[in-house]
C-alpha cells in the first residue's frame, strides 16, 4: 500500500496483470478479466487513443505516448510507476545529457502522478495525455515557476499564469517534469544540452533541451517552438519525431516570442502518433491569441486513420523532389541514400509517388533568406526594442546584434519582405495542386559538432525547414536510420498544405509502422 494514497499499485490495475513497482519493464501479456471502461469527465466512454498495436517489452520510459496511454487508460499501468521509472532514468543520464534547466522536485512530480492515478481509479480519465511525462521548453510561461528563456533579461522571472498550451497540457492530466533548455529566447547561442548519440555534439537549436530529453528518454513529450526549424532540426539531429503543425493551430499566448508571424508551437516525441495526440490536446482556438485558427478542437489522431494492413497509403499522392530540386540539395550522401530507401517504402505502402518541382525559389531569388531574415529581424526587434534601449547589457552580443539589425530595417522594407513572402507562399504551396504530401531529406545531417559544423561532401542548397515556417504549412521530421560511418541519425520531412496536418502525419505514421527506425535509442 502507498502511505500517501492508500492505494496499492496492484489495486490500480483491477482486472489486469499488475505492473510491479520495482521494475521498469512492460510486457504485452495481461491476465484476468477486463478492467472497467474508463470514462471522460463528461461521463462518456473515452475513445481518445485511436491507434492499434502491441505494447513492446521495453522500459516504461521508452514507451511511446500512445502505448503508455492505452496501458494507463486500461489500468495496466499506473502513472506513479511511470513517473518513478522516469525519475530514475533522469537520475541515471541527466548529468551527461543536460536537457533540463529547472527540473521540478521529485516529490512534486510524484504528487501529480498520484493525483492522476486517483482520478483514473475513480473513472475520471482525462484523455491520452493523462499521466504522461512532459518536458517544457523554457520559453513557455508556467505559473509560479521560473521562466527565463536562457536570457539574463528574464533572470528570475516567475509568471503569474500558465501559457495556453501549458494550461491545456495540465488540463489533459500531463505530468510536467520541469523546464528544459533553449537557446537564448529561441535564437542566437545554443543551450548546454548535449546530443545523446554523441555527447560532444549539440542537438541544435532552439528546442535543444526538448530534443535531448526525448532522445535520452527523460520524458515522453518535449514541448518546443519552431520559427525556422527549431523543432524539426533538433529532431533530425537526435533521431526523434518533431512536428510543427499548421500556423495558428496552437496558441502563442504565454510563450516568449521570436517572430510572431512564423512562430509555431509544436512537439518532439518518438512517433507521429504521439505528435497527433499532443496537438489534439493543446491545439484549438484561443481568444487570447487572435492568430489561432477558428477550430474549437482538433481530432488529428482520429483523422489519420488506421495505418494497418499492407497498403495503408492507397489513394495518397506523395510528391518526391525531382533531380536537382532545391529540396534534394543536402550535403550528405548517406542522407540521400536513406531518403531513396524511404521513397521505396512509401511506394510499397500503396502511395502514388509523383516527381515534382518544389517551387521553393521564385525566379530571381537564390534563397528565401532574402525575405525570411528581414521578417525575423524586424519582429524580434519589435518585441525587444525597449530592452535594447534600457538593458542592452542583459543580451548576449549575438542576440543584441540581431535586435539591432531589426531596428535598422526601414518599415517599407519589412512591408516589401512580407509582400514577397506572400507571393512566394502562393507559388510554393501551388505544388499541392497535384500532390497530397511531399517528402524530402532533412538538412541537419548527423548532428552538429559542439564547436562547429560537420564536414560535408557539398554545400547545402539552403534551409529545408524555414520554408515550412514561411508558408505556415504542417511538417514533421522523422528518422530514416543511422549513418554507417558515424552511427548518427538520418531524417526526412513529410509536409502538406496548411490544414492537412493529419495527412502529413498519416504518411509519417505509415512509414514508421513499416520500419523500425523510431525504435533506435542511443547507448548512454
Burial 352-370 (b: 16+ CB within 10 A, else e): ebeebebebbeeeeeebee
Q: Which of 383, 356, 367 is nearest to 461 (CA)?
A: 367
Give the integer Cα–Cα distance in Å for 287 and 424: 30
Q: Which of 511, 495, 450 is nearest to 204 (CA)?
A: 450
| Dihedral class, residue 53 (left if φ above 0, else alpha if ψ from -120 to 50, else beta) | left
Instruction: Quickly count: other Cβ atoms within 10 Å of residue 4's Cβ.
Output: 11
SS3 of 159-194: the string is: CCCCCHHHHHHHHCCCEEEEEECCCHHHCCCCCCCC
DSSP state for residue 464 in the 8-state scheme: S
Instruction: Quickly count: other Cβ atoms within 10 Å of residue 418's Cβ.
Output: 15
Active site residue 506: no
Catalytic residue among 74, 78, 206, 217: 206
The Cα-based distances of 447 to 99, 195, 331, 451 in angstroms read 16, 8, 13, 12
Percentage helix, strand, coil for the chain under 3-state DSSP, each rounded to 5: 40, 15, 50
Give the integer Cα–Cα distance in Å for 86 and 107: 13
Instruction: Quickly count: other Cβ atoms within 10 Å of residue 169's Cβ.
Output: 24
DSSP state for residue 394 in the 8-state scheme: G
Catalytic residue among 78, 137, 179, 491: 137
Catalytic residue among 208, 230, 251, 463: 230
Give the integer Cα–Cα distance in Å for 311 and 55: 23
Give the integer Cα–Cα distance in Å for 340 and 320: 10
The three cell numbers locating residue 165: 498550451
Active site residue 230: yes
DSSP-derived secondary structure for 338-354: HHHHHHHHHHHTT-EEE
Active site residue 370: no
Q: Is the peptide bond before 185 cis (omega within 30 degrees of 0)?
A: no
Which residues are catalytically annotated?
A: 137, 206, 230
Amino acid at each position: 500500500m502507498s502511505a500517501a494514497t492508500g492505494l496499492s499499485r496492484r489495486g490500480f490495475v483491477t482486472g489486469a496483470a499488475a505492473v510491479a513497482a520495482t521494475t521498469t519493464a512492460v510486457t504485452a501479456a495481461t491476465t484476468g478479466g477486463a478492467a472497467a471502461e474508463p470514462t471522460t469527465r463528461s461521463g462518456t466512454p473515452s475513445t481518445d487513443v485511436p491507434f492499434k498495436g502491441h505494447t513492446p517489452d521495453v522500459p516504461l520510459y521508452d514507451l511511446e505516448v500512445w502505448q503508455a496511454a492505452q496501458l494507463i487508460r486500461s489500468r495496466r499501468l499506473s502513472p506513479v510507476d511511470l513517473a518513478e521509472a522516469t525519475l530514475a532514468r533522469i537520475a541515471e543520464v541527466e548529468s551527461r545529457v543536460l536537457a533540463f534547466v529547472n527540473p521540478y522536485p521529485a516529490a512534486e512530480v510524484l504528487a501529480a502522478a498520484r493525483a492522476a492515478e486517483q482520478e483514473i481509479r475513480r473513472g475520471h480519465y482525462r484523455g491520452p495525455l493523462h499521466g504522461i511525462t512532459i518536458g517544457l521548453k523554457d520559453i513557455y510561461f508556467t505559473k509560479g515557476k521560473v521562466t527565463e528563456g536562457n536570457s539574463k533579461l528574464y533572470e528570475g522571472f516567475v509568471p503569474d499564469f500558465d501559457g495556453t498550451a501549458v494550461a491545456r497540457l495540465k488540463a489533459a492530466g500531463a505530468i510536467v517534469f520541469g523546464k528544459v533548455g533553449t537557446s537564448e529566447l529561441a535564437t542566437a547561442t545554443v543551450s548546454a544540452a548535449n546530443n545523446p548519440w554523441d555527447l560532444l555534439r549539440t542537438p541544435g537549436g532552439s528546442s535543444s533541451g526538448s530534443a535531448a530529453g526525448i532522445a535520452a528518454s527523460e520524458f515522453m513529450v518535449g514541448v518546443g517552438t519552431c520559427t525556422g526549424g527549431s523543432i524539426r532540426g533538433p529532431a533530425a539531429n537526435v533521431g526523434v519525431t518533431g512536428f510543427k503543425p499548421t500556423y495558428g493551430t496552437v496558441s502563442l499566448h504565454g510563450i516568449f516570442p521570436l517572430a510572431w508571424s512564423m512562430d509555431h508551437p509544436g512537439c518532439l516525441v518518438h512517433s507521429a502518433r504521439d505528435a497527433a495526440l499532443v496537438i489534439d490536446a493543446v491545439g484549438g482556438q484561443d481568444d487570447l491569441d487572435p492568430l489561432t485558427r477558428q477550430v474549437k478542437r482538433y481530432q488529428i489522431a482520429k483523422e489519420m486513420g488506421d495505418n494497418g494492413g499492407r497498403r495503408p497509403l492507397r489513394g495518397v499522392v506523395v510528391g518526391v523532389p525531382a533531380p536537382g530540386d532545391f529540396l534534394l540539395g543536402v550535403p550528405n550522401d548517406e542522407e540521400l541514400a536513406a531518403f531513396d530507401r524511404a521513397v521505396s517504402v512509401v511506394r510499397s505502402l500503396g502511395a502514388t509517388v509523383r516527381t515534382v518541382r518544389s517551387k521553393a525559389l521564385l525566379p530571381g531569388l537564390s534563397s528565401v533568406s532574402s525575405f525570411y531574415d528581414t521578417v525575423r529581424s524586424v519582429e524580434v526587434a519589435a518585441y525587444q526594442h525597449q530592452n535594447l534601449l534600457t538593458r542592452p547589457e542583459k543580451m548576449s552580443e549575438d542576440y543584441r546584434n540581431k535586435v539591432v539589425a531589426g531596428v535598422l530595417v526601414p518599415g517599407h522594407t519589412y512591408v516589401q519582405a512580407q509582400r514577397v513572402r506572400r507571393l512566394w507562399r502562393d507559388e510554393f504551396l501551388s505544388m499541392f495542386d497535384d500532390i497530397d504530401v511531399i517528402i524530402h531529406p532533412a538538412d541537419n545531417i548527423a548532428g552538429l559538432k559542439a564547436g562547429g559544423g560537420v564536414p560535408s561532401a557539398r554545400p547545402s542548397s539552403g534551409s529545408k525547414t524555414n520554408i515550412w515556417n514561411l508558408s505556415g504549412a504542417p511538417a514533421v521530421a522523422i528518422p530514416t536510420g543511422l549513418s554507417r560511418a558515424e552511427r548518427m541519425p538520418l531524417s526526412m520531412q513529410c509536409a502538406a498544405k496548411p490544414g492537412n496536418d493529419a495527412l502529413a502525419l498519416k504518411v509519417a505514421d505509415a512509414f514508421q509502422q513499416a520500419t523500425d527506425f523510431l525504435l533506435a535509442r542511443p547507448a548512454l
